Amino acid sequence: MIEYLGRETFDLVVIGGGITGAWIALDAAMRGLSVGLVEQGDFASGSSSRSSRFVHGGLRYLRYRHFSLVRESLRERGVLLRLAPHLVRPFPFLLPVYKGGRDSALLLRIGLTGYELLAGTLGIGRHRVRSKKDLMREEPALRADGLQIGLQYYDAVTNDARLTLTVLLGAIARGAAAANYVQAVSWEKAGGRVAAVNCREVTTGAELTVRGRVIICAAGPWTDELRAMSGASSILRPTKGVHIVVARESLHTESIIAFDWHGRSLFVVPAGRHTYVGTTDTDWRGDPNGVVAAAGDVAYLIEAANAFFNRRLTATDVTAAWAGVRPLVADEGSPTPSDVSRDYEILEGTPGVYAICGGKLTNGRSMAEALVDRVIEREGRYFAAKPARCRTGNVLLQGAIADFGRYRKRAVADLVEGWGMPEESAAHLVDTYGTQHARVLGAAGPDPSLLASVDDGSPELLVEAAHAAAHEMVVTLEDFMRRRSDLMFFGSGLDAGAASRVAGVLAHSLGWDDAEKHRQTAAYQLAAARVMAFRPEVSEVATQDR
Ligand code: FAD
Considering only CA atoms, which residue is closest to atom 31 of ligand 1?
51
Three-class SS of residue 65? Answer: coil
510 lies in some domain: yes
My answer on whether 211 and 333 are in the same domain is no
Report the separation in Å between the CA atom of 53 and the middle of ligand 1, taken as the mean of its atom positions. 12
End of a domain among 283, 315, 339? 339
Say whether pTM exceeds 0.85: yes
Report the separation in Å between the CA atom of 427 and the middle of ligand 1, taken as the mean of its atom positions. 28
What's the CA gap between 115 and 128, in Å, rounded? 13
My answer on whether 327 and 246 are in the same domain is yes
Residues of the chain with pLDDT under 70: 335, 338, 457, 493, 537-546
In order, the DSSP letters of 208-231 are EEEEEEEEEE--GGGHHHHHGGGT
Which residues have C-beta within 8 Å of that of residue 99, sequence separation ≥ 6? Answer: 146, 147, 148
Q: Rg for the chain (alpha carbons), in Å? A: 23
Ligand 1, pocket residues at CB < 6 Å: 15-21, 38-41, 45-48, 50-54, 183-184, 218-222, 226, 241, 279, 324-327, 359-362
77 lies in some domain: no
Half-sphere exposure of 345 (CA within 13 A, CB side): 15
Report the separation in Å between the CA atom of 18 and the middle of ligand 1, taken as the mean of its atom positions. 6
Best of 181, 222, 224 to mutate for ligand 1, by most ligand atoms within 8 A of CB?
222
My answer on whether 223 and 243 are in the same domain is no
Q: Note the pLDDT of residue 342.
A: 79
- CATH code of the domain covering residue 99: 3.30.9.10
For residue 43, the ligand 1 atom closest to its alpha carbon is: 9
Best of 1, 23, 48 to mutate for ligand 1, by most ligand atoms within 8 A of CB?
48
393 lies in some domain: no
278 lies in some domain: yes
Three-class SS of residue 285? Answer: coil
My answer on whether 92 and 27 are in the same domain is no
Three-class SS of residue 232? Answer: coil
My answer on whether 345 and 335 are in the same domain is no
Best of 14, 39, 45, 47 to mutate for ligand 1, by most ligand atoms within 8 A of CB?
47
My answer on whether 228 and 365 are in the same domain is yes
Which residues have C-beta within 8 Å of that of residue 117, sequence separation ≥ 6? Answer: none
In sequence order, what E strands does 339-405 have? 344-348, 353-358
What's the CA gap between 89 and 408, in Å, rounded? 12
My answer on whether 483 and 334 are in the same domain is no
What's the CA gap between 472 and 480, in Å, rounded? 9
427 lies in some domain: no
Among 322, 343, 324, which residue's Cα sits nearest to residue 334?
343
My answer on whether 230 and 246 are in the same domain is no
Q: Note the pLDDT of residue 537.
A: 62
Read off the amino acid at residue 168. Answer: L
Mean pLDDT of the chain: 93
Report the separation in Å between the CA atom of 86 and the middle of ligand 1, taken as the mean of its atom positions. 22
- Beta bridge partner(s), residue 224: none
For residue 342, the ligand 1 atom closest to its alpha carbon is: 45
My answer on whether 241 and 353 are in the same domain is no
Best of 1, 37, 50, 51 to mutate for ligand 1, by most ligand atoms within 8 A of CB?
51
For residue 243, the ligand 1 atom closest to its alpha carbon is: 34
Burial of 114 (0-12, 13-18, 19+ CB in 10 A): middle
423 lies in some domain: no
- CATH code of the domain covering residue 17: 3.50.50.60
My answer on whether 345 and 246 are in the same domain is no
My answer on whether 150 and 261 are in the same domain is yes
Question: Do 483 and 46 form a contact (C-beta atoms < 8 A)?
Answer: no
75 lies in some domain: no
Long-range contacts of 526-529 (CB under 8 A, 24+ apart): 527/478, 527/482, 527/488, 528/488, 528/493, 528/494, 528/499
My answer on whether 224 and 119 are in the same domain is no
CA 117, chain centre distance (Å): 27
Domain count, the chain: 3
Three-class SS of residue 149? Answer: strand
527 lies in some domain: yes
Q: Which domain holds residue 213?
A: 2-48+161-234+341-382
End of a domain among 367, 382, 397? 382
- CATH code of the domain covering residue 496: 1.10.8
Checking DSSP bridges between strand 54-55 and strand 147-157, what pairing results, if any? antiparallel
Helices assigned H by DSSP within 342-453: 364-379, 404-419, 423-433, 437-442
Q: Note the pLDDT of residue 256.
A: 98
